[in-house]
A and B are shown apart, each in its own frame.
Chain A
Amino acid sequence: MTFSPELEARFTELLRRYPPGYQRGALIPMLLYAQDEVGYITDDLIAEVARRLSLTPLQVEEVVSYYTMLRRRPAGRHHIQICTNISCMLRGAEDLWDSARRRLSLTDKETTADGRFSLEEVECMGACSWAPALQVNYDFHHHMTPEKLDALLEKLKADHV
């Protein structure tokens, strides 16, 4: 399996960050950065990362299955993550969530047929004082309303990658 030169450089640098004999420390960052490039955690990716860290694929898979951001299936190009935890809930996150489901015709952890959007209900993302909040991939959007969500989705739809 091959990665971009940027990701290879990042891996090389990452492996230097942990004490001798503890290169496994790089595992979770490697998986997340690789997912950013590949789109999701494939079987090939697990085998490749395992090989580089002298782990078994099972050891890597056991870690992948624990962390909510590491996914074994592709997500949409724009992965919409809506927080419905208490601070967001008190500021209208449930209506935001319902509105997103209707607008995208998706339920939790589903992806549109064209692969453009995916939707996920997530736990607290650390935006409590600017609630309700959502993330599109890694970007935060604060003080959301169903109307602002509509505008955001329109903007993302027009955004051809």
Chain B
Amino acid sequence: MYNDPHPAEVQVLTRRFRLPNSQSIETYLANEGYQGLQKALAMTPDQVIEEVKASGLRGRGGAGFPAGLKWSFVPRHSPKPKYIVVNADEGEPGTCKDRVLMEYDPHQLIEGVLIAARAVDAHQGWIYIRGEYRYLLDIMDRAIAEAYQRGYLGPNILGSGFDFDLYTHTGAGSYECGEESALLESLEGKRGIPRIRPPFPAVVGAFGSPTVLNNVETFCAAPTILLRGGHYFADLGSKKNGGTRLFCLSGHVNRPGVYELPMGFPLRRMIEEVGGGVPGGKKVKAVIPGGSSCPILKGDEIDIPMDFDSLAAAGSMLGSGGVVIIDEDTCMVKLAMRIMKFYQHESCGWCIPCREGTMWLKKVLVRFHDGHGAKSDIDLIGELAQNMLGRTFCPLGDAAALPTISIVKKFRHEFEEHLNGARCPYEEHARPR
């Protein structure tokens, strides 16, 4: 693993990561591998879905939608084939957990896919992996080949009469393809532009067929849920937030890394105890709790349990598990500008509020950071961002607007400090020469 474990971790999905040859099917089989699948094959599809519902597992890609409920939306009787699609297009800035899940335990993902397939009676699936993760594509291809050899994929799996084929599929550089409907367009060989919903993928997804589409980490939870029971998983986390979560600590923290912690783990402890605090004993100015699209938390707002509902109640989001810690010497205007540059670059251009909004916001924020902002620009930023909210096919527009609105609201004084040609007051600290 890339970082040392921490005693506060509850290693469930990551429990095999540090075993020798953790990628191999032998290691997997010797450590509870494919046992959840065996249980699922002995159960009815409805029982599998009920077990996942009981686990309180919520989508780990960021939206936090209950996974069991999502699976139950797939029509029982469909004249069309049903498909499973894994979203391994990890791209939300601050997030690097699906990478380790595939790198250190690829069979856990395959087993999770098989359990979902059993639950909805699907017989074919794809793992959509971002293009930059070529080495993971190779790891997954090797694991898939092993699973075929041992009879965990292909026809009549373990003599159950259940068939399933699984393939990898590479992306080629696009944040937008992490959005489910754009991902499906991309899987079909098109530009990654979002689809209007309804119909949702559960009804019309990949190749015009009902499709279960979840994040890597969501599928990876399924084997443990089946093996140890939904209630075991639910009890690991907090109320209505079952299980553990892979949190990716990055930014100004002494021990950055990916740590598996129970849902509801206090953010302050995550930063101070697990992450070892801020380098140089500096203060936390702000935290992005779950990837760059989440509204920012101020340093005095970090006494909060890290679960979907607590973050929503605080006006932010748990998002994708990317916890970015920002110290007191960081310029928030610059941070807002860099975030907006990203969203402007990644906007697919399909919806005008997002295409134009991100472009104008970038222009204003760059001008502001350069010291050429006008006082009225501060409100203009908020107004532009506000006008994007809810006016696009996919959440990228909101993802650009929400952090921007929160940064302007919570750090307005820093925008004012940049007025009248003033040099960025934080630049000296942020970039020592």
Contact = CB atoms under 8 A, between A and B. Distances in A.
Interface in A18-65: 18-19, 22, 24-29, 31-33, 53, 62-63
A128 B322 contact: yes
Interface string A72-102: 0000000000001111011100110000000
B95 interface: yes
A156 B314 CA distance: 49
A123 B92 CA distance: 10
Contacts of B94: 86-87, 124, 128
A27 B189 contact: yes
A131 interface: yes
Given A22-B188, A69-B132, A86-B339, A130 B171 contact: no
A135 interface: yes
Contact of B93 (A19, A91, A123, A129): A123
A142 interface: yes
B413 interface: no
Contacts of B132: 69, 125-126, 135, 138
B96 A127 contact: yes
**Which of A89, A90, A130, A138 has most B Cβ within 10 Å?**
A90
A68 interface: yes
A124 B342 contact: yes
A69 B167 contact: no
B171 A28 contact: yes
Nearest to A64: B172
Interface in B190-240: 190-192, 207, 209
A137 to B, nearest CB: 9
Contacts, number: 146
A17 interface: yes
Contacts of A69: 131-132, 172-173
Contact of A126 (B91, B124, B192, B324): B91
Contact of B96 (A31, A90, A129): A129
A31 B170 CA distance: 10
A161 B146 CA distance: 33
Nearest to A142: B2
A16 B95 CA distance: 32
**Which of B171, B250, B326, B431 has most A Cβ within 10 Å?**
B250
Contacts of A123: 91, 93, 175, 342, 345-346
B173 A128 contact: no
A157 B102 CA distance: 32
B330 A128 contact: no
Interface in B103-145: 124, 126, 130-135
B189 A129 contact: no
A106 interface: no
A126 B167 CA distance: 22
Nearest to A135: B132
B99 interface: yes
Contacts of B98: 126
B324 A63 contact: no
B90 interface: yes
Nearest to A131: B250
Given A17-B169, A25-B188, A128-B95, A67 B339 contact: no
A145 to B, nearest CB: 13
A125 B348 CA distance: 18
B207 A138 contact: no
Nearest to B334: A89
Given A69-B173, A70-B172, A138-B134, 7 more contacts: A19-B81, A25-B188, A32-B172, A126-B91, A128-B95, A129-B2, A129-B250
11 contacts: A29-B169, A86-B93, A90-B250, A123-B93, A123-B175, A124-B92, A126-B91, A128-B96, A129-B2, A129-B249, A130-B2
Interface of A: 17-19, 22, 24-29, 31-33, 53, 62-63, 66-70, 84-87, 89-91, 94-95, 123-131, 135, 138-140, 142
